[in-house]
Amino acid sequence: MNLLITSLIGTLLFLLACATVPLTERKTLRLIPDSELISLSFQQYSDVLKESKLSNDPEKVHRVRRVGERIARASEEFLRESKLESDIKNYKWEFNLIEDDKVANAWCMPGGKVAVYTGILPLTQDDTGLAVVMGHEVAHAMAKHGNERMSEALLVQLGGTSLSLALSKESALTQQIFMGAYGVGSQVGIMLPYSRVHESEADRIGLVLMAKAGYDPREAVPFWQRMNEKGGSRPPEFLSTHPAPETRIKDIKSHIPEAMKYYK
């Protein structure tokens, strides 16, 4: 009987928490309230900035914020067109450049807090290359991949019967799961390792975002080729848990015609 009740509760929670990713229309599980997830994200972002050295190069900082703001505006437009304008209020955009030439990475927390590392700038080369990266990372936040991964972690660790209790009362436990899922280290702040499905989804949505922001989505192909060349026999951190480079580039090429419809 207990097993049956647990199964029924778990099924009910799954049905209540089911959502759809914009553009791809993939069904996804989101059990964490946006308000709680965003609050944790903002705190994590603040902690990472305190532990990091921010770039004082005005030209590079301005580039990151210039491109970031255009991607942000495009993402809000995209949400309106997807009938998700209610999500816009959750984004408090912030773009910072962290001084670390050894790290070719970038990430976007839920709620629009973005960090770019100076190590990726030689690979982005210009505003359009940077738009590829930032469009991809913002797409992760828009698709709420973090919520999906945390929801999966909650289900595994807590089980169906204790899930609602954990979400409503055990804030410390929820925060612990958040910290584990997002894995922000003391030296390198990175988002949780997304699955290949999430990465491919972010590639596709990111192409649309950069196109809507006025950047040529066809430039995504040479950027990912440069990232692949940098990886050598071992992929750089930015590519960990990502699809095989050849597969990724092939998929991106297949999505470019879709993105070009939005290119201004």
Question: Domain for residue 102, yes or no?
Answer: yes
Question: Domain for residue 67, yes or no?
Answer: yes
Rounded to an integer, what distance in angstroms lies between the CA atom of residue 259 and that of residue 48?
33
* 176 contacts 40 by C-beta, under 8 angstroms: no
pLDDT confidence of residue 149 = 82
CB proximity list for 211: less than 8 A, separation 6 or greater: 217, 259, 260, 261, 262, 263, 264
Q: What angle do CA 96, 206, 155 make, to 5 degrees?
A: 85
Give, for all 264 residues of the chain, the pLDDT tens digit: 444 444 444 544 544 456 889 888 888 888 888 888 898 899 999 999 999 999 999 999 999 999 999 999 999 999 999 999 999 999 999 999 999 999 999 999 999 999 999 999 999 999 999 999 999 999 999 999 888 887 777 666 655 445 455 555 555 655 555 555 544 332 333 334 457 788 899 999 999 999 999 999 999 999 999 988 876 544 554 445 566 778 889 999 999 999 999 997
Q: Which domain, by its residues, includes 50?
A: 34-145+185-193
Question: Domain for residue 137, yes or no?
Answer: yes
pLDDT confidence of residue 241 = 57
pLDDT confidence of residue 245 = 76
Question: Domain for residue 44, yes or no?
Answer: yes
Question: Domain for residue 4, yes or no?
Answer: no
Question: Domain for residue 256, yes or no?
Answer: no
Question: Domain for residue 202, yes or no?
Answer: no
* 28 contacts 18 by C-beta, under 8 angstroms: yes
CATH number of the domain encompassing residue 51 = 3.30.2010
pLDDT confidence of residue 40 = 87
Enzyme catalytic residues: 137
Q: Is 137 helix (H, G, I), strand (E, B) or coil?
A: helix
Question: Domain for residue 178, yes or no?
Answer: no
**Given the structure tokens 């816009």, which residue do they identify?**
88
Domain count, the chain: 1
